[in-house]
Structure 1
Amino acid sequence: MNSQLKKLSFIAVAILCLTPWIQPPVALLLGFVFSLLIGHPFLRYNGKVTKILLQVSIVGLGFGMDIYEAAKTGKTGFWLTVSSIFLTMTLGLLIGYRLKIKRKTSLLIASGTAICGGSAIAAIAPVVDANEEETSVSLATIFILNSVALFLFPYIGTLLELSQQDFGLWAAIAIHDTSSVVGAAQKYGDEALQIATTVKLARALWIIPISLLISVVFKQKKSKLKIPYFIFLFVVAIVLNTYLAIPEVVSSTIVLVSKKGLTLTLFFIGAGLTLTSLKSVGIRPLLQGVLLWIFISISSLYVIINHLF
């Protein structure tokens, strides 16, 4: 396939993902299949576009939320978030040590699982001065598990007859990347989406204290900390939606566009995955990621179902 036709095909599939017929998990799969069979014609722009689109879409979701409900949700998941982050980080490092995984790779996988997937890895990698291989292996490990979660979690939630609130909380705690959290929750229902987004973004703010703590441990005084500022814009959107008389047709349109933006984001994420990155993972880092993921998924589900928080 020539370059021009490849570009047109990519754009056509991307537009298809904006239609009502394509659900978030399907968009991710379409992106991966396109990358595998044809190749990403805009690969060098993929990372930046994906990041911007994800952040803008999440801020847009804030126009469908109420500040009081969001605060209540954040308070509900606070202690579960704190305990799960530190337990996962500790267990992750222990597993990495036992499996004899490189220290920095182990830390990145543990951080990605504990906080918010690729965003946490991207923030912490420069703090510990991780090289390209260590970062790539960690990102690929997390991506593989994210992809599985996007399909598996809504199925398990339906099977267990989880409420919208319980599923939203579970997705926010147990799925790594924000994109996969909102994708799975969006498939499950609107209430689950609101809860999952709020709790996950509150969780993502833990990048800041964890990164500072790690910089002290690794003695990296000159490292640059990446703060997820878009989360504050998400809060601003919620406040505006709560206190301004924004017409329902406007706010609902913004939320609808944002949801489709998230679906398109997952298509780009899938398209950005290559066989080379998958092959680079290795069995031990993947095993660490899987064991950690099983731990956080089962333990958080047990706590949520039994309302032990």
Structure 2
Amino acid sequence: MTLPTAPAPATGIRPLLPGLAVSAAGVAAATGINALLPTVSPLMAAVVLGALMANLGACPAALRPGLAFTSRRLLRLGVVLLGAQLAVRDVLALGLPVVLLVVATVAIAFSGTWWLGRRLGLGRDLSLLVATGFAICGAAAVAAMNGVADGEEEDVMTAIALVTLFGSVCIVAFPLLQGMLRLPAESFGVWSGASVHEVAQVVATAQTAGTAALATAVVVKLTRVVLLAPLIAGVSVLRRRTAGPRTGGKPPIVPLFVAGFLAMVALRSLGALPTAWLAPLKTAETLLFTAALFAMGTAVNLRALTRTGRRAVVLGALSTVLISLVALGGVMVLTPGA
């Protein structure tokens, strides 16, 4: 007599399909919100929609495999495609002084924000994610760094919320400060690109000063994005050194998705990517990041998020002031007549 056996666990792509389908629906909804409210990026809308879905009890266990796949694998593919938007020649065209200003601003903003977060009693991972988002490129940088840090989803949600809040403040405050400081358009572009958090927020801020300011701001902002790769690699090296035998082994020195990012930068810089490919690759990158952040949002517990809310807002305010003042100081040095 043969005893009945338990069914084997499902393998392959089938368990992923429900979560992938819901992620696709989340992307469509976030894209629609962005179309109606252009100041709200699809990344921001996606993470909020995911969090609402989870906290309203609409996220059954059957969705989890696909959502986990989306939040990790598709995120890393999005980071790879991000490299296609960057060309080394555009960075070099800024000139060495501006490039050094960007590097110094990112270094001071990142280290200063991380230090402030720890002094405020926030966790190591939350401090790291906020520092990365504010110093580099907002939500995309937060998500990319979490690929190495593997922090709690509540920390990711908090960091992205802070980027949204204080980046929006910059859109209003920076144009007002330009008039008070009498900054020339190009100098204002450098300041905006070096200190405002999200790419979309940089565009909204700099375009108030004209096309010259906008063009400069975008290139300066993309120069900050280039620094995402060495920053993630550096954090990965530190994690590798401190990884104990019970953590399942040491992480790689350079994560594969960071190597892919650098490869795409090299291809773009060498002219190996046809110009006609750039817009589709940009669209694919945005869709992948939007899907990943929607999936991350579904793991957020809003009650747990409120526990560190006040201290996190203080950190966001201090970090915004820090990066703005450091970048402005550099601009003043480069533009003595401003």
Taking the TM superposition and a 5 Å limit, the aligned residue runs for 1:34-49 are 34-35=49-50, 36=52, 43-48=67-72
- 2:265 alignment partner in structure 1: 235
Aligned residue type for 2:234: P
Kept in 2, the 8 Å contact 1:164–1:192? The answer is: yes
Rate the CA distance shift 1:16–1:294 in 2: closer, same or farther, 3 A: closer
Q: Report the equivalent of 1:303.
A: 326
Aligned residues: 273
Match of 2:202? 185
Q: CA deviation at 1:187?
A: 4.2
- The code of the aligned residue for 1:136 comes to E
Spell out, residue by residue over 1:222-263, the C-alpha distance to the aligned partner (whole angstroms, 9 max, x if none): 42145322341243034214xx7x8xxx52x44433443454
Mapped partners of 1:190, 1:166: distance in 2: 12
Change beyond 3 A, Cα 1:50–1:198: farther
What is the CA-CA distance between 1:195 and the residue it aligns to? Answer: 1.7
Assess, with a 3 A threshold, how the Cα gap between structure 1 residues 256 and 65 changes in structure 2: closer, same or farther: farther
Deviation at 1:87, TM superposition (A): 2.3
| Residue-by-residue CA offset, 1:44-75 (whole Å, 9 max, x unaligned) | 44314641453244222125963522674543
d(CA) in 1 for partners of 2:155, 2:321: 22
Deviation at 1:199, TM superposition (A): 1.4
1:65 & 1:254 partners in 2: Cα distance? 18
Query: In the alignment, is residue 146 of structure 1 matched against residue 159 of structure 2?
Result: no
Q: Is the 8 A contact 2:153 2:299 kept in 1?
A: no
In the alignment, structure 1 residue 223 sits paired with structure 2 residue 250 = yes
Equivalent residue, structure 1, for 2:181: none
Find the counterpart in structure 1 of residue 79 from structure 2: 55
Could you tell me which of 166, 178, 196 is aligned with 2:191? 166
Structure 1: any 5+ residue segments left out of the alignment?
Answer: 126-133, 176-180
Say yes or no: does 1:157 pair with 2:174: yes
Distance change in 2, residues 1:145/1:233 (3 Å)? same
**SS, match of residue 205 in structure 1:** helix
- Corresponding letter in the other structure for 1:61: Q
Q: Deviations over 1:136-190 (max 9, x none)?
A: 332232122233345443333344348222111103xxx3xxxxx3333344445
Alignment of 1:63-102 (within 5 A): 66=90, 68-69=92-93, 72=96, 73-96=98-121
Cα distance in 1 for residues equivalent to 2:23 and 2:314: 41
Distance 1:279 1:63, change over 3 A: same
For residues 90-131 of structure 1, the C-alpha deviation after alignment (integer angstroms, 9 at most, x for no partner) is: 2222222xxxx5xxxx11112112234233343134xxxxxx
Q: Which of 131, 149, 154 is matched with 1:124 structurally?
A: 149
C-alpha spacing 1:212/1:276, structure 2 compared with 1 (3 Å): closer
Query: 2-side partners of 1:197 and 1:294: how far apart?
Result: 23
In the alignment, what sits opposite 2:314? 291
Gapped regions of structure 2 (runs ≥ 5): 1-17, 133-140, 179-184, 206-213, 334-338
Equivalent of 1:271, from 294, 297, 301?
294
- In the alignment, which residue of structure 1 is the partner of 2:336? none
Match in the other structure for 2:25: 10
Please say if residues 112 and 120 of structure 1, whose CA atoms lie closer than 8 Å, have aligned partners that are also in contact.
Answer: yes
Larger Rg: 2
Could you tell me whether the CA contact under 8 Å between 2:166 and 2:320 is conserved in 1?
Answer: no
Letter in 2 for 1:123: V
The answer (yes or no) to whether the contact 1:67–1:238 under 8 Å persists in 2 is no
CA contact (8 A) 2:44 2:160 kept: no
**Compared with structure 1, are the counterparts of its residues 28 and 86 closer, same or farther at alpha carbon in structure 2 (3 Å cutoff)?**
closer
CA distances 1:21-45 after superposition (whole Å, capped 9, x unpaired): 7747242454356543696876344
Residues 211 and 140 of structure 1, relative CA distance in 2, 3 Å threshold? same
Letter of the structure 1 residue corresponding to residue 103 of structure 2: F
Q: Which structure 1 residue ranges, 4+ long, deviate > 6 Å from structure 2?
A: 18-22
- Are 2:33 and 1:27 equivalent residues in the alignment? no
> How far has the Cα of 1:19 moved from its partner?
9.5
Task: Give the letter for the 2:302 counterpart.
Answer: L
* Alpha-carbon distance in 1 for matches of 2:102, 2:86: 18
